[in-house]
């Protein structure tokens, strides 16, 4: 019989993916005032994968973790409603960059001793795509990024991952870190009864200071600007006209 695992899942509170972000007038960042927030979609996929592993009898406990302001409790409660068992919030008003988050997660891993850490391949606010890799480096654990499919058998985690031109399968000894890609699964709809049950599940709050982690930013944002507006397209009557315009007007061929 497979050993039942403890899984740690990281989730982040970001602008809802349906909302078009607005840049502040002074160019110092993105305006978050009165903006709808939600769980990072890739992290939601990580939670769903953990819950499926528990439902399959592979996992015994799912612990979700988030770092940020007190409002991050919202995404933790959503994860609990999806099926996680308990939650940990590392509360801080500081701007958290990937290295700081990885260090905070490493401190929680030391406390919780999970056999598997799942997190989204990237957050849709900064698109850094660094936290999982940095966490694996800090822990000295094997890692698999951009997971398309996961399988656990005989104590070995096999991850199918998407690469340019196809799929790649890698085998990892546990404990390990895995970052989830878009097509790994489709997260379940959270029902009202499960939302009510989630309110009774434990949610502990810690601080970076209690974990002995320095979260001071290492990078400074100099300016945030809107992307250039796309030019309107045009219809061409045939391939010959298309090639002529690509060669003489766009000058790309």
Q: How far apart are CA 13 and CA 37, in angstroms?
A: 7
Which pLDDT value is given to residue 127?
86
What fold does the segment set 5-226 form as a domain? Rossmann fold (3.40.50)
Q: What is the mean pLDDT of residues 164-190?
A: 92
Answer whether 10's CB lies under 8 Å from 43's CB.
yes
Q: What is the mean pLDDT of the chain?
A: 91
Q: What is the pLDDT of residues 89-115, one digit of tens each?
A: 999 998 899 999 999 999 999 999 999
The enclosing H or E element of 198 equals helix 192-198
pLDDT at 65 over 50: yes
- Would you say residue 2 has pLDDT above 70? no
pLDDT for residue 228 is more than 90:
no
Digit-coded pLDDT (tens) for 198-219? 999 999 999 999 999 999 888 8
Answer whether residue 1 shows pLDDT above 70.
Answer: no
Half-sphere exposure of 4 (CA within 13 A, CB side): 10
* Domain coordinates in residue numbering, the chain: 5-226
Element at 42 (helix H, strand E)? helix 41-55
* Three-class SS state of 161: strand
Residue 3 has pLDDT above 90, yes or no: no
Which whole number is the average pLDDT over 2-16? 88
CA 220/CA 95 separation, integer angstroms: 10
Q: At how many degrees (to 10) do helices 73-82 and 41-55 cross?
A: 30
Instruction: State residue 107 phi and psi, 5-degree precision.
Output: -65, -40
């Amino acid at each position: 019989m497979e050993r039942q695992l403890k899984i740690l899942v990281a989730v982040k509170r970001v602008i809802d993916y349906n909302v078009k972000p607005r840049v502040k007038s002074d160019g110092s960042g993105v305006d978050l005032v009165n903006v709808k927030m939600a769980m990072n979609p890739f992290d939601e996929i990580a939670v769903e994968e953990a819950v499926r592993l528990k439902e399959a009898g592979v996992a015994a406990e799912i612990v979700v973790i988030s770092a940020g302001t007190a409002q991050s409790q919202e995404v933790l409660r959503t994860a609990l409603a999806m099926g996680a068992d308990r939650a940990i919030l590392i509360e801080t008003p500081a701007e958290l960059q990937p290295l700081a988050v990885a260090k905070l997660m490493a401190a929680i891993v030391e406390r919780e001793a999970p056999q598997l850490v799942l997190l989204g391949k990237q957050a849709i606010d900064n698109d850094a795509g660094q936290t999982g890799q940095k966490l694996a480096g800090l822990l000295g654990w094997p890692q698999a990024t951009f997971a398309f499919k996961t399988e656990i058998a005989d104590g070995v985690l096999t991850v199918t991952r998407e690469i340019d031109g196809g799929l790649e399968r890698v085998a990892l000894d546990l404990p390990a870190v895995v970052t989830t890609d878009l097509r790994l699964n489709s997260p379940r709809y959270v029902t009202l009864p499960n939302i009510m049950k989630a309110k009774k599940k434990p949610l502990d709050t810690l601080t970076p200071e209690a974990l002995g982690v320095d979260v001071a930013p290492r990078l400074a944002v100099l300016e945030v600007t809107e992307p250039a507006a796309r030019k309107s397209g045009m219809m061409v009557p045939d391939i010959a006209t298309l090639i002529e315009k690509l060669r003489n007007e766009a000058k790309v061929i």
